[in-house]
């Protein structure tokens, strides 16, 4: 029986007036684990400048000139060849950047991505509904939303919807020149409601990682990790 993927470690990075992030891989990583990077920027261009990353699958790269924020998500089944710190380039564009590095187990190998939703760019004030995708439990669903405006101290973004847990959020820059972002997780997907504190554009999407891991009938660990049970744990980063 497959187990819901579990985030077993994470770290964050945020910088201003820079063209890249340096994301750290967990020192506890093994080849049974999956690395997930989620990044956002205050870029104003027509297309997302987040670069490809050798060895990682950049399966989300979203945002346009209207949104004024850009997001990307990268995924890799670790093979032991990775450096401790990974440089994620924002093209040649310097801006306010932020990101998360997640380490997960109980993710199916070699096909960790279950489903990618469709990104939406939404303007105005008030809550956002990030549409559900066709991903039932035990697959782990993520909501990722970035907002054009970085002023204020978290918590800026509330999370609502049965079963959704706010993992964390970051913010950098000013209200007129910055970015904030929030990540939430759920065992299986439903609509997720995200509170937005100011009248400006957001880029938002859901995706899901495929359940794996667990213990085989011979008592051995299946590919993809161990036997941890999914228990959401929120983390807020200021």
Question: Is 108 part of a structural domain of the chain?
Answer: yes
Question: Is 198 part of a structural domain of the chain?
Answer: yes
Question: Is 23 part of a structural domain of the chain?
Answer: yes
pLDDT at 223: 52
Taking all residues of the chain, what is their mean pLDDT, rounded to a whole number?
Answer: 88
SS3 70: strand
Q: Which domain holds residue 104?
A: 6-209
Question: Is 37 part of a structural domain of the chain?
Answer: yes
Cross-strand partners of 155: none
CB 226 within 8 A of CB 13: no
**Cβ count near 66 (within 10 Å):** 12
Question: Is 221 part of a structural domain of the chain?
Answer: no
pTM greater than the 0.85 cutoff? yes
The rounded distance, in Å, linking the Cα atoms of 74 and 90 is 13
What's the start-to-end Cα distance of the chain, in Å? Answer: 38
pLDDT in tens, 143-160: 999 998 766 566 689 999
Q: Does pLDDT of 174 surpass 70? A: no
Q: Report angle CA 190, 50, 126 to the nearest 5 degrees.
A: 40
pLDDT in tens, 120-138: 999 988 899 999 999 999 9
Question: Is 223 part of a structural domain of the chain?
Answer: no
The rounded distance, in Å, linking the Cα atoms of 5 and 22 is 25
Among the listed ranges 31-35, 69-73, 125-129, 171-175, which one has the minimum average pLDDT value?
171-175
Q: Report angle CA 128, 35, 172 to the nearest 5 degrees.
A: 45
Q: Does pLDDT of 234 surpass 60? A: no
Please give the tally of structural domains in the chain: 1
Question: Is 224 part of a structural domain of the chain?
Answer: no
Question: Is 57 part of a structural domain of the chain?
Answer: yes
DSSP labels, 141-175 = EEEEEEEE---S-S----EESTT-EEEEEEEEEET
């Amino acid at each position: 029986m497959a187990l819901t993927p579990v985030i077993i470690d994470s770290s964050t990075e945020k910088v201003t007036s820079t063209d890249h992030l340096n994301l750290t891989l967990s020192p506890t990583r093994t080849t049974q684990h999956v690395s997930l990077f989620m990044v956002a920027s205050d870029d104003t261009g027509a297309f997302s400048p987040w670069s490809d990353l050798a060895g990682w699958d950049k399966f989300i790269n979203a945002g346009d000139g209207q949104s004024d924020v850009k997001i990307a998500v990268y995924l890799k089944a670790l093979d032991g060849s990775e450096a401790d710190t990974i440089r994620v380039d924002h093209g040649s564009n310097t801006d306010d950047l932020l990101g998360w590095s997640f380490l997960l187990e109980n993710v199916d190998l070699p096909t960790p991505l279950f489903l990618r939703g469709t990104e939406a760019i939404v303007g105005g004030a008030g809550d956002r509904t990030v549409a559900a995708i066709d991903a039932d439990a035990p697959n782990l669903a993520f909501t990722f939303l970035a907002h054009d405006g970085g002023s204020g101290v978290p918590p800026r973004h509330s999370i609502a919807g049965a079963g959704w847990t706010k993992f964390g959020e970051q913010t950098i820059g000013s209200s007129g020149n910055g970015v904030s972002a929030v990540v939430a997780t759920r065992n299986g997907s439903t609509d997720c409601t995200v509170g937005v504190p100011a009248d400006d554009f957001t880029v938002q999407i859901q995706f899901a990682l495929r359940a794996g891991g667990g213990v085989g009938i011979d008592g051995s660990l299946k590919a993809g990790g161990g036997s941890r049970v999914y228990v959401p744990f929120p983390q807020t980063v200021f």
